[in-house]
Amino acid sequence: MKKRFALIMAGFMLVSGLAGCTGGETNADGNEEVRSDGAEKLVIGFSQDKNDIDWTQSMKEDIQATCEENDVELTITDANGSGEKAASDIEDLITLGVDAIIVQTYHADTIANAVQDAVDAGIPVIALSSEIPGANVTSLITVDATETGRMMGEYVQNKFPDGAYIVQLTGKEGSLVNVNRGVGFHEIIDANTKFTVLSELSCNYERSKAMTAMEDQLQAHGDKIQVVYCHNDDMALGAIQAIESMGYTADIDHGICVVSAADGMIPEVLDNVENGKMVSGYFPTFGKEGVENALKAIRGEAVEAKILVPSEVITTENVDHYRR
């Protein structure tokens, strides 16, 4: 049986760097743990690209919690930002014989063959956030990132009807979601000649890189900057830190307006929204939905090929609705 094989492979898991986070392990006599109803536990593998920002950390926590609620064993891999390691991790999960695989990636092209190998092996694959071109995944659960970009562009256009000078801070290179957040934003902004994008800088979704980039932009452009469009909250927080440390004001009405495309989930961000320093686009973790649809697929139930989770702008008016 595949789970018995998974136990035999436990030593291999440690060598290959798999981090098992389970809802149940083997019992004292070495036999595989079973559910309270006597059935063997299902095993879901979660291939995560990198657990380095608030959104990915929250995703992992939501997946763990949902697996525990459903009495499902969970095996987690962390590729530490390497597409090649993520592909290898997925192949390892196939070898371990997990019942389903949930995938979060910034390297869709690099892992596509490994994902297709899982599908070909009869393992349901649920992709979270980013589509994986070249792989026929069971289901993609995401937000329309291009529409999110348009939504934030429309917010800026409405806030600054006379135009504005904009600095744009983008996320991880190779991420389709990152690209589309920029595409949608530019569809709106570039159609209005009153707007000027002073610079577009990649900050890898990281707060420290965004802070440094924003300091450089303030030194170069000073009072000219009116809007900072960030592709996620961590970069927005770094931008706010730089703005304030250099004597400027982060304020959507009376200073530099900081606009984040995502994620809208941690208290620090929501506090800044409430205080009028920024707005954020809500971007769910998809963790709960990922596990629930993986379980449906395992049971042979119909699963939608693409599930779009709604998003909206988090402002001072609706911020309390998003506090976890």
pLDDT tens across 68-83, in order?
A: 999 999 999 999 999 9
pLDDT given for residue 266 in this prediction: 87
pLDDT given for residue 265 in this prediction: 82
Phi/psi at 194 (nearest 5 deg)?
-75, -15
pLDDT given for residue 210 in this prediction: 98
Q: Which two tokens stand for residue 84?
A: 């090649």
Give one DSSP letter per residue of 159-186, joined into a string: H-TT--EEEEEE--TT-HHHHHHHHHHH
Q: Which two tokens stand for residue 5?
A: 């094989």
Going 79 to 81 to 85 to 88, the CA torsion angle's sign is positive
* Helix ranges, the chain (H): 2-8, 10-16, 54-69, 83-96, 108-120, 145-159, 176-189, 207-221, 233-245, 267-274, 287-298
Q: Are 308 and 283 in contact (CB under 8 A)?
A: no
Predicted confidence pLDDT, tens digits, the chain (324 residues) = 444 444 344 334 433 444 444 443 333 344 455 555 556 899 999 999 998 888 899 999 999 999 999 999 999 999 999 999 999 999 999 999 999 999 999 999 999 999 999 999 999 999 999 999 999 999 999 999 999 999 999 999 999 999 999 999 999 988 889 999 999 999 999 999 999 999 999 999 999 999 999 999 999 998 999 999 999 999 999 999 999 999 999 999 999 999 999 988 889 999 999 999 999 999 888 999 999 999 999 999 999 999 998 888 999 999 999 886
Q: What is the pTM of this model?
A: 0.75
